Structure 1
Amino acid sequence: MSDGRSERARDAVAVIPEFARPLVDQITAAGVLVAWNLAPAEWFLVDALAKRSGLDMLAAAAVQAAARNRKGVSHARYFLRAWQSLPPAPALGTVPAAAPASNVIPLDRAQPRGRVAESVDYLAEALAAMEAQQ
């Protein structure tokens, strides 16, 4: 005969299913430390989402979601809603779309010029002009 406290304590211990171990390891290795004591139905959902979107996509989304949350994330349940919004993993062999062309003008580093160097040049020109007038 067991008392209610020992049953609750046993239920509070995170038992991570084998399929989810790589996901938990990736998220933990990224420094996101959360409780993983999910209910069986939630683990079933995680399994379905992992099959649909892939473990890498779920892990990346969890790390991003944790980084955006200023208060911190304490439980893996927080990720479930974000994971449900993810698209399916791309089919094998899919080529990523090309990135759009950049509208940034590259900095000419051949002659790095700072404000001080430009000021010295302006001052030298002004002195030369004053001497030429005398």
Structure 2
Amino acid sequence: MSEGGSERGRDAVAVIPEFARPLVDRITAAGVLVAWNLAPAEWFVVDALVKRSGLDMLATAAVQAAARNRRGVSHARYFLRAWQSLPPAPAPGTVPATPPAGSNVIPLDRAQPRGRVAQSADHLAAALAAMEAP
């Protein structure tokens, strides 16, 4: 008789491999507390996903997935399917797309430590000033 372990869980590794430590730390720091005892084959998949999509993308996807799940997430295995559907990380030096000319999107200036409301007020003031100028 089994003592509650499945075939998959019997070979699970409770120790987190070094390559995964930054990922686990980011997810845990965000308040998502899950079990990380994955099978060796699952850790192999996680390693490949970290190399393909990057730590930031995986951690963000895990935190978002945990937030969407009403019943809560108890095991890191829950994230594997979502991670496998993520795109590869952009190549180094890739510049984010900019809105087309004439768009009504106000770009965020992340260099300024000001909030979005203050930035929006500045953009509105500049637009009003431009309308009043002869």
TM-score normalised by length of structure 1: 0.67
Identity of aligned residues (%): 82
Choose 32-41 or 90-99, whichever is displaced more.
90-99
CA root-mean-square deviation: 2.7
Aligned counterparts of 2:45 and 2:12: Cα–Cα separation in 1: 19
**What is the deviation of 1:14?**
1.9
**What is the deviation of 1:13?**
6.7
Q: Name the CA shift for 1:12/1:54 in 2 (closer, same or farther; >3 Å).
A: closer
In the TM superposition, 1:1-134 aligns within 5 A as 14-99=14-99, 101-102=103-104
Moved >3 Å (runs of 4+) = 10-13, 99-104, 106-109
Structure with greater proportional helix content: 1
Partner-residue secondary structure (3-state), 1:50: helix
Partner deviation per Cα, 1:77-99 (whole Å, 9 max, x = no partner): 00000000000000000000124
The aligned residue for residue 115 of structure 2 is: none
Q: Name the CA shift for 1:14/1:47 in 2 (closer, same or farther; >3 Å).
A: same
How many residues in Structure 1 have an aligned counterpart in Structure 2?
Answer: 102
Partner-residue secondary structure (3-state), 1:92: coil
Q: Which entry has the higher C-alpha Rg, 1 or 2?
A: 1
Partner-residue secondary structure (3-state), 2:21: helix
Partner deviation per Cα, 1:4-40 (whole Å, 9 max, x = no partner): 98xxxx9667210000000000000000000000000
TM-score normalised by length of structure 2: 0.67
In structure 2, stretches of 5+ residues that fail to align are 4-9, 107-119, 126-134
Aligned AA (1:79): F
